[in-house]
């Protein structure tokens, strides 16, 4: 995977170097971008041989890449005919602020992602298509990482292939990986973090644990809410005993608690503006509800009149807001075909995964039970973090996609757990 990123960086450096001696016109840059994407596409086709166990997997990874590439070109050249969902106001904001960064001005909006895009434009020229192409690469890398996690936790071949298809062709994920939004890089960082977390879970490696903790911090530079997954890790690391393979409380619990509290203190006091900018405005219950009210604009807003003025009311209402975050647009809020499409191909996936996971917890002698508890904890904490910060179906749809790798792995683990309850004959068919 990193071979393609290295090729991309080398290409950027070469273009930057050549541009010092010869000033490219826009048409030349467009030609260059097309040539670079063609070269990288060929490199990708060679690379996925390494990650494919058979022809079927190769074809899935092949089409997953080219479908995203098709959506990318449509978003650039076909938007006058039809604009892809979630592409528009925010993507244009990131692009215009990246141009400001390129010209030496501050990014008025978009934060670190606008600065990141401005850096790409600095080397490649003002070529939006290459910035979006990088999102395509992050998208297919995420699929490969999900596949590697499924193999590591020994999900059977039939389920693994089904989940590979799911992660490759979920419509909303394809769009997130193709347009100019920060979601694609965050999804990739969270998936990478989960991969190293699972390695730590199985091997108890300090190196893997360190990487899994570091990656969400990097993701936080693009969106503060990404810290939610790190909070989930913190609870599992504190209470899970790798050697005994169970949750318990011992001397390690106290030690890790002190370490995490110290790290949080340092981060909050010295890097608050960088890591926790979204939370710096919150100092009371009313601040949280006021923040929720800020995002109730637009036709897809939900729970506009659901407010909390004290902690008890907030606790009572939070499960409702968590449901809306994970399931919006819910049927009673549908406005048309686009909402129905979003529910079927996004909301239904998350709701079904939660239901399957809760059912799987009831299975006795379940070898995946501890991992499933950890994954459920991650999902609940991310839902909790975003429940009061999001009051709009479109925004909820984007934010929950950041953690999609957790849900795909959780669905696989739940399926493997539930098959233990099947009769012997059905279990054989299920395991093929």
User: pLDDT tens across 232-244, in order?
Assistant: 999 998 888 877 7
CA nearest 277: which of 54, 162, 112, 118? 112
Angle between helices 348-360 and 404-418 (to 10 degrees): 40
> Per-residue pLDDT for 29 more than 90?
no
CA nearest 112: which of 277, 222, 37? 222
For the entire predicted model, the pTM comes to: 0.90
**Phi and psi (nearest 5°) for 178?**
-115, -20
Of 143 and 263, the one with more pLDDT: 143
| C-alpha span between 167 and 173 (Å, rounded) | 8
Q: Is 383 exposed, middle or buried (0-12, 13-18, 19+ CB in 10 A)?
A: buried
Q: Specify the pLDDT at position 429.
A: 45
Q: Is 396 exposed, middle or buried (0-12, 13-18, 19+ CB in 10 A)?
A: buried
User: With the CA atoms of 160, 162, 167 and 168 taken in that order, what torsion angle do they form, in degrees rounded to the nearest 10?
Assistant: 110
| C-alpha span between 21 and 158 (Å, rounded) | 55
CA nearest 3: which of 32, 36, 40? 40
User: pLDDT tens across 390-407, in order?
Assistant: 888 888 999 999 999 999
| C-alpha span between 166 and 146 (Å, rounded) | 11
pLDDT band for position 42 (cuts 50, 70, 90) = very high
Would you give the distance in Å from CA 364 to the centre of its chain? 31
Query: Would you list the DSSP string of 218-280?
Result: HHHTT-GGGHHHHHHHHHHHHHEETTTTEE--SHHHHHHHHHHHHHHHHHHHHSHHHH-TTTT
Query: What does each C-alpha distance from 238 to 104, 153, 409 come to in angstroms?
Result: 45, 22, 22
User: pLDDT tens across 157-169, in order?
Assistant: 999 999 999 999 9
Residue ranges covered by each domain of the chain: 1-185
Q: Answer yes or no: are the C-beta atoms of 167 and 146 closer than 8 Å.
A: yes
Q: Containing H/E element for 31?
A: helix 26-51
Percent of the chain with pLDDT over 70: 88
| C-alpha span between 260 and 254 (Å, rounded) | 10
| C-alpha span between 37 and 33 (Å, rounded) | 6
User: pLDDT tens across 333-357, in order?
Assistant: 898 888 899 999 999 999 999 999 9
Q: Specify the pLDDT at position 284.
A: 57
Helices (H) and strands (E) in the chain, counts: 21, 2
Neighbouring residues of 81: CB distance < 8 A, sequence distance ≥ 6: none
| C-alpha span between 3 and 261 (Å, rounded) | 37
Cis amide bond preceding 17, omega within 30: no
Query: What would the two tokens of residue 85 be?
Result: 């969902």
pLDDT band for position 26 (cuts 50, 70, 90) = low
- Residue 395's Cβ-side half-sphere holds a number of Cα atoms within 13 Å equal to 20
Arithmetic mean of pLDDT, 122-128: 87
Percent of the chain with pLDDT over 90: 53
Would you give the distance in Å from CA 73 to the centre of its chain? 22
Q: Specify the pLDDT at position 189.
A: 97
| C-alpha span between 27 and 277 (Å, rounded) | 39
> Which of the 8 DSSP states describes residue 304?
T
Q: Specify the pLDDT at position 248.
A: 80
| C-alpha span between 181 and 176 (Å, rounded) | 7
pLDDT band for position 30 (cuts 50, 70, 90) = confident
| Residues paired with 301 in a beta bridge | 392
Q: Specify the pLDDT at position 279.
A: 55
Q: Specify the pLDDT at position 425.
A: 47
Query: Would you list the DSSP string of 367-419?
Result: TTHHHHHHHHHHHHHHHHHHHTT--BHHHHHHHHHTTHHHHHHHHHHHHHHHG
Q: Answer yes or no: are the C-beta atoms of 159 and 415 closer than 8 Å.
A: yes
Block residue for tokens 């298509």 = 129
């Amino acid at each position: 995977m990193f071979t393609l990123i290295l090729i991309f960086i080398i290409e950027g450096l070469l273009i930057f170097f050549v541009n010092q001696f010869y000033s490219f016109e826009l048409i030349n840059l467009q030609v260059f971008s097309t040539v670079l994407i063609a070269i990288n596409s060929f490199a990708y086709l060679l690379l996925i041989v390494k990650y494919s166990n058979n022809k079927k997997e190769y074809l899935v990874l092949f089409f997953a890449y080219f479908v995203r590439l098709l959506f990318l070109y449509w978003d650039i050249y076909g938007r006058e005919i039809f604009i892809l969902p979630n592409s528009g106001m925010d993507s244009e904001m990131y692009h215009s602020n990246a141009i400001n960064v390129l010209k030496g001005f501050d990014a008025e909006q978009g934060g670190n992602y606008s600065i990141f895009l401005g850096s790409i434009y600095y080397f490649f020229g003002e070529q939006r298509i290459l910035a979006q192409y990088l999102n395509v690469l992050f998208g297919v890398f995420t699929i490969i990482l999900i596949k590697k996690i499924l193999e590591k936790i020994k999900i059977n071949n039939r389920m693994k292939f089904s989940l590979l298809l799911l992660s490759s062709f979920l419509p909303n994920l394809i769009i997130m990986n193709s347009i100019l939004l920060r979601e694609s890089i965050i999804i990739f960082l969270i998936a990478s973090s989960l991969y190293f977390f699972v390695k730590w879970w199985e091997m108890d490696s300090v190196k893997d644990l360190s990487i899994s903790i570091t990656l969400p911090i990097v993701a936080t530079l693009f969106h503060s809410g990404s810290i939610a997954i790190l909070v989930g890790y913190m609870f599992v690391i504190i209470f899970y005993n790798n050697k005994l393979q169970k949750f318990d409380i011992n001397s390690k619990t106290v030690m890790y608690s002190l370490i995490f509290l110290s790290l949080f203190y340092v981060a909050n006091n010295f890097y608050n503006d960088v890591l926790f900018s979204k939370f710096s405005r919150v100092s009371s219950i009313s601040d949280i509800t006021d923040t929720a009210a800020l995002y109730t604009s637009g036709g897809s807003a939900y729970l506009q009149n659901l407010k909390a003025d004290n902690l008890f009311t907030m606790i009572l209402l939070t499960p409702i807001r968590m449901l809306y975050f994970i399931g919006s647009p819910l049927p009673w809020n549908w406005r048309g075909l686009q909402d129905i499409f979003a529910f079927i191909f996004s909301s239904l996936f998350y709701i079904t995964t939660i239901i399957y996971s809760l059912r799987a917890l009831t299975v006795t002698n379940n070898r995946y039970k501890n991992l499933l508890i950890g994954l459920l904890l991650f999902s609940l904490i991310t839902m909790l973090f975003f429940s009061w910060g999001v009051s709009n179906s479109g925004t909820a749809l984007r934010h929950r996609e950041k953690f999609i790798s957790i849900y795909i792995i959780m669905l696989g683990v739940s399926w493997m757990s539930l098959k233990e309850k099947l009769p012997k004959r059905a279990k054989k068919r299920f395991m093929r």
